């Protein structure tokens, strides 16, 4: 903002040009999109691009505009064509991604604040793509995440072996499909918030994640909150807001 | 049947009367109902009276007809008026019932074959009325049932303390509302069939038992089978068929 | 625990009595219930009593057992008969309650750690009973809560006037019925987690809170997590876990 | 109609031929279809062709018959094969279409009555295909439409920047997926009818547009009416009926 | 507003008092509610009170505050206790109401602008309470409404006899339960917008209005828009916005 | 109609009065209702009064108007207050009713054409109230109906004993709750149409008749058609249309 | 049967062979299938082959076995591979089919009893594939069927022009997607049974035919019965049973 | 376990190595998975691999690890790529599979304990793939299974011919799609538990198996328990637990 004002003072920008530039600091109109550049300031992270339903071109243009301002852009639920268009437009930029290239962090990855504040637990191996979406999101927000995989309730001793890791967490993200029972069990074992992510793993009465979603919403454990089916991104985003606040608090405390 | 034939031979019954009597051995028409007296022989237990939607009078008349033939009648989902009508018509008969008088065994209670083959586990105290329906049903079929109450997944150590009882069971009936996660945990701990009963305990997204029902149907544990919401009767009935067969097998083995 | 051991050493308890006493420290069997006394230690708060589906007597007995150990008991979704039974058994104890006496804190209220870490926002006046359930829960966990009422999205300037309060929160609980849009708007204005509580306020296609629930789960704002319909208790419980961790972090920092 | 009668008077048509011709003025039977030519007169616009479930040939034949009578035909939800068949049969006719060629206006585009009476607002870039369906429909009915894209509720200041455009509208069409909250916010800002269009944008609990649909039906803002999921056509059609009536009223007033 | 400023100038209000007074012009905080007094200006009608879920007292206090500013208040979905509280607090004010006293206009009824712009049609006599809610709402917004009752699609000739009335309308509100087919038929007969209101009339697969709602959303007629089940208020509100704009247009035209 | 014309010719009616009288032959406006007197002629039976949602007075006035023209009126889903109002207004008329006075035929009962063309079968005693609604409806349309009660699929031999009655039917109405399996079995045994009526008998996953409804719609037997849940009236009405046509055919054959 | 007995008498079949042959008259076991050859006799038509979920081979083998006994086989919901397998095995047999080769009558087509007893009406051109399934089924059962296409409720005059054809029908099959309103209108115009077939035509809230299904089940017209979504076969089968009975009745009358 | 200890004693393993080896006896961490090797001991069968959502590689690695410990691995819901990966890694191992290679038993097939304790019944030929999943599962658990195919309720005499086989079963698995009525009929004929498996066979209101699922859950026969839609594996697993217990009982009896 100061740059713009300086340029106006220096006569490099007319008053009208400066006003337009200031307005686009907050919301940059691209015709098919209106980028919310203020979001970083208001909400603690830049706008995230939901790729589904957008053309590859639109995704690449939006990503480019966000990276220009914020240094990096997070893209979720991308398909192959989206990835190609991003590479074509922004190819020399570093890219962090999950193993299926559905979640992508283009641009500079922020330094990691805290390696182990967030623990991501999956009930089964089939839940892993959702867990990776969460992991990339944590990275995009500068938080590390410890993974504990395949410790579903039908073999609870597997979870028992990881209790020490769990109990060191500031927030637990618990990802499960089918009956989605794992968050209830974990919620009964820890004194930190548990963010439950239902997945569409299962068939028949799993109804693409509804069984797990309902199970998590009606959990008999008290500290469990829930996000949308397969929404690894949302869970990680919320977890980072929490963990970051906890770190900030600690840091403030030091001051 | 032999009685009827004897009476026919003795001339106490005309041929037509005897034929009618024989037919009613299998199915006794009451106008508003057709009692299936053959069921005991075919299915191992007499017809059970589902009281909802029947008038008190209808329930009392049907119960009376069944008791006359089988010595006892089991009535489920009865209301106060049904109980009154039963008492009025059959008052001097012994009656075994749950604490809310919704499930009633009128007439002679059969001797108990096996005190501990069936274990009934509830996730919470609010599931108890369903557990009692199961308990009275077991009694009606001559099987004992051990109760373990309020050991839901948010405090699993409570279940751990009862593992020895659980592992002695031939069949486990597991009753849970809300997210209905308990059967998955128990199914991962025992090598006998687990009959899961979802209950309508809960609110909001519990949807009167749908959340628990879906959770149980999609359980990640393998030996879990499911019955209708709040159907303590059906779970106990199936459990008794299983346990009885196991006992019979043992007994046959002795012979 | 030390008391028990001392009594055993002193010969006041036999070995068997001491063992039994120790076991009941963790899980106290009442027949119809098994109280999880360890929960306070594991999860940061004592077991909470969900009154629906329990008899008044059962609620009073459980509350009494919890208070004996923890000093206070929180009861949710109580009806008039439950309140009467509690008063009869525990009448001289202090009681904190919402204006409809559905949520009750019996016993000693803990001191409040932080007056303004949690902000509770309602979309409409009809959402207030859920907000009060949250408020009593916060009190039970020793956290204060600031209330902002009736600032739904059809008149957003009302929310605008409260932005300063909102932005000081560590966690926001946002309670809304009908279309449940408020959490999305708030999620776009703050950089802290927003716990969204759908309420059953509305009619027709509101489907007793389903419309709001789905809206919140699919929120376009990123930091929003969701609890069950009308679950003011669960939202507050999770919020307190978060806020407490933030405070602890700060305190630890000082050390 | 006058032509037919004249021809009959002139002996160019027999009485029977004339009767048949008159009948087909109202409803022209094509065997697999019965075209409602009276609709323009009754309802203010010619029959519109819903292409899904029709063979390419059927669509081309119906379009041709409508164009012959009305000069133009609007086709919605067309696929590639439909477009090919239309081009093959009617290739030299002008065609107005959205960027995915799903909505097509074949034939003469009517002059535009009013450039800015209708404002189309989308919550996100992914809603754009529905917005274009609405835009082509407006063109087919001779109304202009101003587009405001990507101003969803998670960044409301983007909407604020467009309030002046919004407040000049006679009708607002508001298109949103996910939680569908935008119409509630706009409904609270303007004094004209808001036609809300839920879209199938989203995943999981968005349930292909159900979340947005329910949210819009239960909007806390009063002037909001709703159409089917992804029904840009229907929204635009209704908006044009409203806007046209307003213009007519104005015009009548001048007379 | 001018009054306040005058009082400030005259020293009757301190600066702080004046600021507070000005703020409450826009949003008046009542603790449990925050009245949106700006709504009249923004949206063309004062805030409407949805009584369900509010205590009688709350409704009366809010109504009183609105009447003080706007001269009248519209209350929907009131119960007997709400009516009593309103009468107690505002008893001497004129009150316009439907025959079940569910929708109430307290205070001064505005003059009626146009007696016949809005036509309300019901499919059956059982839909009448919803029609009356619409009628009182029209009165509150200063518009007349013509009623055509009980002309459902199983006896279409009844509708035929009213075509002249229908075709004079600027907007049609069409109210139907069960299969909700009437709006499709009317939508095919008129060239004005049809606002369809599904009602909860019916049983079984009518699912409390869902059958009608789905039918209306998927209407094969093009100008049909839909509101929530039983939402006579919302339909009338939207209809008045439309009809008023049409009248304003005409009036502006004269100028 | 002739009466009216004669009166007009005789000067007892003015032209205007005669026109009005003729119009009301087809559709008699009562303000809150518009009676379709033409329905008898068009559809083979007079309009039937669905009492739910109508005031007692409205039902009595409509019934009176229909009886005046047709000699009798059929009222379905009446409550106690409706019956009282009917008796008050029409008390000296004969009344045929089911045992709960929910379905009432007021006025003259037509002679019965055929005693055994229609067979009504119920799966259980709890389905009887729906069966009685069907029975009264048959009587209102001049058809007899044979009842076979309580022959559900868990005891099929009971049905076997009635095969001869079933196979003499022209149409079978089959009424069942819970899983609604009986129509599939009967559809595989007869060569006449089977009208299946799902009932709301059952609990839990019976979902007030949805389980039975879906089961009947997806029946593996081919001649099964379905009506709404608990719609004994509709099933009987359709059955009578079928049976009557069969009789008429026979009669016509004689001529 | 007589053939078998004769062969046994003649010594061409042993007693065991004859018994086996007799049993297979009723039910022929093919390993993966058990053909119900008795169905023709019991239900008036041979078993029909539902091709979905069967391998092409299975369909061809079953068809061949049925044709051997009954002269023809009806196959529904076939795919291309099924048709190929049928042609490969039965290629020289006559085949009657719809235009998409989904419904096939292989073998001898029975003579048509009645050309116009059944009238098939569609609401739109997109409903035609279901109508054709019905038409082929009628042919397989020896009944003609008159088609009236594309006369949906948004242009009712199209239906009016066909009233004379409709009123000559013995049964009407009415096929409609979207809101499925046509059967209600037709049910109010004729005195014969109307079999309503909901189709999956539509999108969004049409929910693949659920909207039409619910609309038809809750029709305000009385003689409407319903079959499964897209079930042209079932509707035609039931219609033929009705129409055949009517013809038989007439014929019997002559004798 | 003894091997490990011996190696430790012999100094072949360090203490740390031995501890690690012991831990992995119970739960072997593979990074993306945590194999529960203790399950065989706890639950009577080794962990089963649900292939959906796992990469081919993951499935092959897990299978290999299980086979190493238990001699064989059961894989369900595999696709072609999974099979290829398994063959590549484990190609020389024996493989038992259904005809579509969706369920695979890799490794040594256990000897069959009892050839006829379990009877698998299907309602139609289209249910066969689910039946085969059950059959392979039985083989994996060392139990035989008798198949009775295509004996649905529309031709019950086909079932009658198999009653002797049915009545010899210890457990019946009953597999049916569409309305899923067969378990109710069988439940009324036998005195052993019936495990009902709904299948996704059917269309329209079959809702991919929901109709059958609800029908089975609400069965009027008492001994019926239910598993998830298309869950042949789960049904067979539970059946084997039951049948095995019965055999064990018998065997124990001999001892």
Q: Which chains touch F (3 or more CB pairs under 8 A)?
A: B, E, G, H
Q: Which long-range contacts (CB under 8 A, 24 or more apart) does C36-41 make?
A: C36/B154, C36/B155, C36/B157, C36/B158, C37/C66, C37/C69, C37/C70, C38/B155, C38/B157, C39/A188, C39/B154, C39/B155, C40/C70
ipTM over 0.95 threshold = no
Q: What Cα–Cα distance (Å) separates residue A123 from each residue in A10, A186, A188, C179, D40?
A: 61, 11, 16, 32, 60
What's the pLDDT at G254? Answer: 37
| Cβ proximity of A85 and A56 under 8 Å | yes
The span from the CA of H122 to the CA of A224, in Å, is 42
Of G204, G207, G217, the CB nearest to E205: G217
**Pair type for strands A224-226 and A171-176:** unpaired
Nearest residue of G to residue F254 by CA position? G253
Please answer whether residues A226 and A217 qualify as being in contact, where contact means their C-beta atoms are separated by less than 8 angstroms. yes
Q: At what angle do helices G232-254 and F232-254 cross, to 10 degrees?
A: 40
- Tokens standing for G233? 């076969």
Residue for token digits 């002193």?
C10
Distance CA G5, CA G11 (A): 10
Rounded CA separation F142/A11 (Å): 97
Q: Report yes or no: E150 and G147 within 8 Å, Cβ to Cβ.
A: no
Residues of B within an 8 Å Cβ radius of C: 124-129, 149-151, 154-155, 157-158, 161, 177, 201, 203-206
Q: Return the number of CB contacts < 8 Å for F and G.
A: 125
CA–CA distance, B190 with A155 (Å, rounded to integer): 11
Which chain E residues touch D245 with a CB distance below 8 Å? Answer: 170, 192-193, 242, 246
B115 alpha carbon, distance to own chain's centre: 16
Tell me if E157 and F34 make a contact (CB, 8 A cut-off). no
State the pLDDT confidence band at F113, using cuts at 50, 70 and 90: confident
Q: What is the pLDDT of residues C111-165, one digit of tens each?
A: 998 888 999 999 999 999 999 999 999 999 999 999 999 999 998 888 888 888 9
Contact D83, D104 (CB under 8 A): yes
Instruction: Supply the DSSP symbol for B110.
Output: P
- Pairwise CB contact (< 8 Å): C36 & B126: no
> Of A43-57, F43-57, F193-207, G155-169, which one has max mean pLDDT?
F193-207
CB D194 within 8 A of CB D187: yes
Q: Angle at CA C124, nearest 5°, toward C119 and C128?
A: 65
For chain B, list residues whose CB is within 8 angstroms of any CB belonging to chain F: 23, 26-27, 31-34, 36, 38-39, 47, 50, 52-54, 58, 62, 77, 198, 200, 208-209, 213, 228-231
CA pseudo-torsion sign B211, B214, B219, B223: positive
- Indicate the SS3 state at residue A20: helix
Q: Which of F137, F121, F122 is nearest to F234 (CA)?
A: F137
Best E33, E78, E199 member to test C by mutation, with max C CBs in 10 Å, is E33
pLDDT tens-digit profile of H119-145?
A: 999 999 999 999 999 999 999 999 999
Are residues G194 and G187 in contact, defined by beta-carbon separation less than 8 angstroms?
Answer: yes
* DSSP conformation letters of D188-251: TT-SS-EEEEE---S-GGGGGGHHHHHHHHT-SSTTEEE--TT-HHHHHHHHHHHHHHHHHHHH
Which pLDDT score, from 0 to 100, does residue F29 have?
Answer: 85
Mean pLDDT of chain B: 90
Per-residue pLDDT of chain G (255 residues; tens, 9 = 90+): 677 777 777 878 777 777 777 666 778 888 899 998 888 888 888 999 999 999 999 999 999 999 998 999 999 999 999 999 999 999 889 999 999 999 999 999 999 988 889 999 999 999 999 999 999 999 999 999 999 999 999 988 888 888 889 989 999 999 999 999 999 999 999 999 999 999 999 999 999 999 999 999 999 999 899 999 999 999 999 999 999 888 765 544 333
Residue D248: per-residue pLDDT: 62
Helix (H, G, I), strand (E, B) or coil at C56: helix
How deeply is C161 buried, as exposed, middle or buried, from its count of CB atoms within 10 A (0-12, 13-18, 19+)?
A: middle
User: Which pLDDT score, from 0 to 100, does residue D254 have?
Assistant: 37
Residue G9: the pLDDT is 79
Interface of C with D (CB under 8 A): 123-124, 152-156, 178-181, 184-185, 187-188, 202, 204-207, 210-222
Confidence check: pLDDT of B255 > 70: no
Of all residues in chain F, the percent with pLDDT exceeding 70 is 94
Mutate to test the interface with F, among G184, G193, G254 (most CBs of F within 10 A): G193
Considering CB atoms only, which of D213, D218, D225 is closest to E238?
Answer: D225
Residues contacting residue A123 through CB under 8 Å, at least 6 positions apart: A150, A151, A152, A153, A174, A175, A176, A177, A178, A180, A181, A182, B220
The Cα–Cα gap between E59 and E104 comes to: 12
D195 to chain E: which residues are within 8 Å by CB?
225
Cβ contact A135:A194 at 8 Å: no
Q: Which chain C residue has its CA at the smallest distance from D178's CA?
A: C218
pLDDT of A255 reads 33
For residues E120-147, give the mean pLDDT: 96
Chain H residues whose beta carbon lies within 8 Å of the beta carbon of residue B184: none
d(CA A86, CA A247): 34
- Predicted confidence at residue H23, as pLDDT, reads 67
Asked whether residue E221 carries a pLDDT value surpassing 90, the answer given is yes
Summarised one tens digit per residue, pLDDT across range H192-219 is: 999 999 999 999 999 999 999 999 999 9
In this complex, which of A152, A214, A220 lies closest to B210 when CB atoms are compared? A214
φ, ψ dihedrals at D12, nearest 5° = -75, -20
Q: Bigger pLDDT: C52 or B22?
A: C52
As a whole-number percent, the residues of chain A with pLDDT over 70 amount to 94
Q: Cβ of A249 and C254 within 8 Å?
A: no
Chain B residues within 8 Å of chain A (Cβ atoms):
123-124, 152-156, 178-181, 184-185, 187-188, 202, 204-207, 210-222
For residues C8 and A157, is the Cβ–Cβ distance under 8 A? no
Strand partners, H195: H173, H225
Looking up tokens 């066969």, which residue turns up?
Answer: H128
Helix (H, G, I), strand (E, B) or coil at C24: helix
By residue count, chain D amounts to 255
Amino acid C61: pLDDT: 96
Report CB contact under 8 Å: C149, E39.
Answer: no
Query: How far is residue G149's CA from residue G162's CA, in Å, rounded to a whole number?
Result: 10
Convert chain F into a string of H (helix), E (strand) and C (coil): CHHHHHHHHCCCCCHHHHHHHHHHHHEEECCCCEEECCHHHHHCCCCCEECCCCCHHHHHHHHHHHHHHHCEEEEECCCHHHHHHHHHHHCCCCEEECCCCCCEEEECCCCCCCCCCEEEEECCHHHHHHHHHHHHHHHHCCCCEEEECCCCHHHCHHHHCCHHHHHCCCEEEEEECCCCCHHHHHHCCCCCCEEEEECCCCCHHHHHHHHHHHHHHCCCCCCEEECCCCCHHHHHHHHHHHHHHHHHHHHHHHC
Residue B32 to residue F206, Cβ atoms within 8 A: no
3-state secondary structure E138-151: HHHCCCCEEEECCC
The size of chain G, in residues, is 255
Nearest CA in chain H to A179: H228
Residue in the structure block whose two tokens are 């949103």: D176
Structure confidence at residue B164 as a pLDDT band (50, 70, 90): confident
CB F134 within 8 A of CB F173: yes
As a whole number, the mean pLDDT across chain G is 90
Residue H202 to residue H208: CA distance in whole angstroms:
7
Of F229, F238, F254, which has the smallest distance from its Cβ to G225's Cβ? F238
CA gyration radius, chain C: 21
Using pLDDT thresholds of 50, 70 and 90, give the confidence band for residue D23.
low
Confidence of residue A248 (pLDDT cuts 50, 70, 90): low
| B54-105 pLDDT, tens digit each | 999 999 999 999 999 899 999 999 999 999 999 999 988 999 999 999 999 9
How far apart (Å, rounded) are the C-alpha atoms in residues C73 and C92?
14
Task: Test C215 with D214 for CB contact under 8 angstroms.
Answer: yes
Q: Collect all residues of chain D within an 8 Å Cβ-Cβ radius of residue G126.
A: 50, 52-54
Q: What is the pLDDT of residue E249?
A: 57
Q: pTM for the full model? A: 0.93
Dump strand ranges (E) for chain G.
Answer: 27-29, 34-36, 49-50, 72-76, 95-97, 104-107, 118-122, 145-148, 171-176, 194-198, 224-226
Does residue F123 contact residue F93 with C-beta atoms inside 8 Å?
no
F52: tokens are 């739910």
For residues H216 and H226, the answer to whether their CB atoms sit within 8 Å is yes
Residue numbers in chain H where pLDDT is lower than 50: 251-255
C150 close to C131: Cβ distance less than 8 angstroms: no
Q: Are C189 and A44 spatial neighbours (Cβ–Cβ below 8 Å)?
A: no
DSSP result, H128-153: HHHHHHHHHHHHHTT--EEEE----G
Q: In b/e form, how buried is each residue of F56-83, taking b as 16+ CB within 10 angstroms?
A: bebbbbbbbbbbeebebbbbbbbeeebb
Closest CA to E21 of E40, E11, E7: E7
Q: What is the mean pLDDT of residues E38-44?
A: 85
Which contiguous run of DSSP H or E holds residue D148? strand D145-148
Would you call A222 and C48 a contact, using CB atoms and an 8 Å cutoff?
yes
In this predicted structure, what is the pLDDT of residue E254?
Answer: 37
F12 Cα to chain B: minimum distance (Å): 57
d(CA A93, CA A87): 8
For E150-198, write each residue's pLDDT tens digit: 999 998 888 888 888 998 999 999 999 999 999 999 999 999 999 999 9
Instruction: Calculate what percentage of chain H has a pLDDT beyond 70.
Output: 95
Q: Splitting chain C (255 residues) into consecutive groups of 10 residues, what average pLDDT does each group show?
A: 75 76 76 88 90 96 94 96 96 92 95 90 96 97 95 88 89 97 95 97 97 97 96 97 78 39
Inter-chain contacts counted by CB atoms under 8 A, chains D and G: 62
Bridge partners (DSSP) of residue A101 are none
């Amino acid at each position: 903002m100061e740059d713009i004002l300086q340029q106006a003072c220096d006569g490099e920008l007319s008053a009208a040009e400066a006003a337009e530039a200031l307005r686009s600091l907050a919301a940059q109109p691209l015709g098919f999109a209106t980028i919310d550049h203020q979001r970083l300031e208001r909400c603690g992270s830049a706008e995230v691009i939901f790729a589904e339903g957008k053309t590859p071109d639109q995704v690449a243009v939006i990503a480019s505009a966000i990276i220009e301002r914020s240094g990096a852009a997070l893209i979720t639920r991308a398909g192959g064509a989206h990835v190609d268009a991003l590479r074509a437009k922004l190819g020399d930029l570093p890219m962090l991604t999950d193993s299926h290239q559905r979640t992508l962090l283009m641009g500079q990855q922020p330094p990691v604040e805290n390696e182990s504040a967030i623990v991501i637990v999956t009930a089964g191996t089939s839940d892993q793509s959702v867990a990776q979406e969460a992991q990339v999101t944590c990275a995009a927000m500068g938080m590390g995440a410890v993974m504990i995989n395949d410790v579903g309730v039908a073999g609870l001793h597997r979870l028992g072996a990881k209790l020490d890791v769990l109990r060191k967490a500031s927030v637990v993200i618990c990802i499960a499909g089918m009956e989605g029972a794992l968050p209830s069990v974990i919620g009964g074992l820890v004194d930190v918030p548990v963010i439950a992510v239902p997945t569409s793993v299962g068939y028949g009465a799993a109804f693409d994640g509804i069984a797990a979603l309902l199970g998590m919403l009606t959990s008999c454990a008290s500290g469990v909150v829930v996000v949308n089916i397969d929404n690894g991104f949302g869970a990680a985003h919320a977890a980072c807001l929490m963990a970051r606040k906890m770190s900030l608090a600690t840091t403030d405390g030091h001051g």
